[in-house]
Amino acid sequence: MTPPEVAARSLPAGIIPGQPLTALAPMQDVTDRAFMGVVAHYGAPDYFFTEFFRVHGQSRPERHILRSIDENATGRPVFAQLIGEDIPHLKRTAQKLLKHPVAGIDLNLGCPAPKVYKKNVGGGLLRDPARIDEIIAALRACTPGLFTVKMRIGFDNTTPFESVVESVNRHGVNLLSVHGRTVKEMYRSDVHYDFIARAAALARCPVLANGNVTSANRAAEILASTKSAGVMIGRHAIRNPWIFRQCREKFAGRTPTLITLADVREYVERLYRATQNADFPERAHVNKMKKYLNFVGQSVDATGAFLHDMRRTSTEAELFTVCDRHLLANPGQPFADEPYPGVIARPNCETPSSCSLDEITA
Ligand SMILES: Cc1cc2nc3c(=O)[nH]c(=O)nc-3n(C[C@H](O)[C@H](O)[C@H](O)COP(=O)(O)O)c2cc1C
């Protein structure tokens, strides 16, 4: 029989027991209650993660992020992510969050925005593996349930990589997500899947492979090459919210469902309505939609014509006119599984000042 303290710390079962795990990556300004609900509609991942709660002397858990936990209607567990370096305040915040229906507490060791890493939090901590060890020990000690870590493979080199994985092992972390880039590599470089494979071999807990998991087929290839327990998907779930369902189909040996441009038109409508808010002026809402559509447009047409026209809209009516023109002219046309080469989401910024949708592209 499993001892109670171990049972209490086992990961929630996946949707299809025995399959590799899937998770929606935490994304600031994106993975809120509304977006999680939309993704769940098309096929939830096994796990959700909140965007990060900022932790410092004066911080209180942000109310809009708490909504993604307290009003979680996805039917799947949500882990609460923290970013910070002050141990008493990290503990205080974890204890507060544990009073909400979280699946566990997750520590961010990856945010690459200079504004963030200069404070020695997120990816900045990767310059100080000894400090990471203290933080992991402290959060482990105050988290009776699941405690997970999300890391990049280093700051400007990969020297601390193994030492961080050793801390993960030493303190009994329950799940490790590895984004296979250094902080300095931001979001566009090749992903170092060899390091994810090393993490999967070294870590005693399951490892989720993260970075450019673009499709169900790529997920299967990355799982085979890294021997990870699952995949974590961010930007490509904004582009294609069917991706988790397609992964489950692929893992079961079936052909992933084909998505058409008409399906995408329906997704745009659903996302628009889900993120609409009486206090949010139409122009601002359209601008927010354009940020999601930057990713969606990468699979609509090879020339970037949808992106070009979509970026020039400023009202709801204009936005949906452009969507109708590009997505309903040939409604049965496939939405490409992979982004079209060279069709890049803008703004084309590789040094974001925050981990926000305004600044990060694919
Ligand atoms: C808009 C945006 C916001 C992000 N915010 C966070 C965050 O709050 N916490 C975090 O650990 N990673 C954050 N990330 C990084 C993602 O979780 C993920 O590691 C990265 O995008 C690579 O995965 P992908 O290629 O599947 O997008 C963010 C990424 C994007 C694009």
Domain boundaries, the chain: 4-8+20-251, 261-327
What residues have CB less than 8 Å from 103, skipping those under 6 apart?
12, 47, 77, 78, 79, 145, 146
Question: Phi/psi at 298 (nearest 5 deg)?
Answer: -65, -15
What pLDDT does residue 9 have? 76
Q: How far is the CA of 325 from the centre of ligand 1 (A)?
A: 31
* 24, 28, 79: residue to mutate for ligand 1 pocket, most atoms within 8 A of CB: 28
**Radius of gyration over every alpha carbon of the chain, rounded to an integer in angstroms:** 20
Tell me which of 99-108, 111-120, 195-204, 258-267 is least confident.
111-120
Task: Please tell me the distance from the alpha carbon of residue 250 to that of residue 246, in angstroms, as a whole number.
Answer: 6
How many of the other CB atoms lie within 10 Å of CB of 184? 15
What pLDDT does residue 355 have? 65
Q: Is the pLDDT reported for residue 84 higher than 90?
A: yes
311: its two tokens: 């970026």
What pLDDT does residue 239 have? 98
Q: What is the pLDDT of residues 320-355, one digit of tens each?
A: 999 999 999 999 999 999 999 989 876 544 445 566
What pLDDT does residue 25 have? 98
> Which atom of ligand 1 lies at the shortest distance from residue 361's CA?
31
| Ligand 1 atom 15, closest CA | 27
| Ligand 1 atom 5, closest CA | 27
What pLDDT does residue 344 have? 83
* 235, 296, 350: residue to mutate for ligand 1 pocket, most atoms within 8 A of CB: 235
| pLDDT category of residue 358 using cuts at 50, 70 and 90 | low
> Which atom of ligand 1 lies at the shortest distance from residue 356's CA?
1
| pLDDT category of residue 117 using cuts at 50, 70 and 90 | confident
Q: How far is the CA of 231 from the centre of ligand 1 (A)?
A: 13
| Ligand 1 atom 21, closest CA | 234
| pLDDT category of residue 244 using cuts at 50, 70 and 90 | very high
Q: What is the pLDDT of residues 190-236, one digit of tens each?
A: 999 999 999 999 999 999 999 999 999 999 999 999 999 999 999 99
What pLDDT does residue 115 have? 87
What pLDDT does residue 62 have? 98
What pLDDT does residue 361 have? 58
Q: In sequence order, what E strands does the chain have?
A: 21-24, 47-54, 78-83, 104-109, 146-152, 175-179, 207-210, 230-233
How many of the other CB atoms lie within 10 Å of CB of 287? 13
- What value does the mean pLDDT take over residues 55-60? 96
Higher pLDDT, residue 358 or 143? 143
What pLDDT does residue 1 have? 37
| Ligand 1 atom 2, closest CA | 27
Pocket of ligand 1 (CB under 6 A): 25-28, 30, 51-52, 81, 108, 110-111, 150, 179, 210-213, 233-236, 355-357, 360
What pLDDT does residue 351 have? 47
Per-position b or e across 145-175, b if 16+ CB within 10 A of its CB: ebbbbbbbbbbeeeebbeebbebbeebebbb
Q: How far is the CA of 111 from the centre of ligand 1 (A)?
A: 8
Question: Phi/psi at 61 (nearest 5 deg)?
Answer: -55, 125
> Which atom of ligand 1 lies at the shortest distance from residue 232's CA?
26
| pLDDT category of residue 3 using cuts at 50, 70 and 90 | very low
| pLDDT category of residue 359 using cuts at 50, 70 and 90 | low
**What are the helix and strand counts (H, E) for the chain?**
15, 8
Share of residues in the chain with pLDDT > 70 (%): 93
- What value does the mean pLDDT take over residues 305-322? 98
Instruction: Tell me which of 1.10.10.2840, 3.20.20.70, 3.40.630.40, 1.10.10.10 is the CATH number of domain 4-8+20-251.
Output: 3.20.20.70
What pLDDT does residue 345 have? 77
Residue 84 falls in which region: left (phi positive, over 0), alpha (psi -120 to 50) or beta: left
| Ligand 1 atom 28, closest CA | 27
| Ligand 1 atom 10, closest CA | 26
| pLDDT category of residue 118 using cuts at 50, 70 and 90 | confident
Q: Is the pLDDT reported for residue 4 higher than 60?
A: no
What pLDDT does residue 356 have? 64
- What value does the mean pLDDT take over residues 287-303? 97
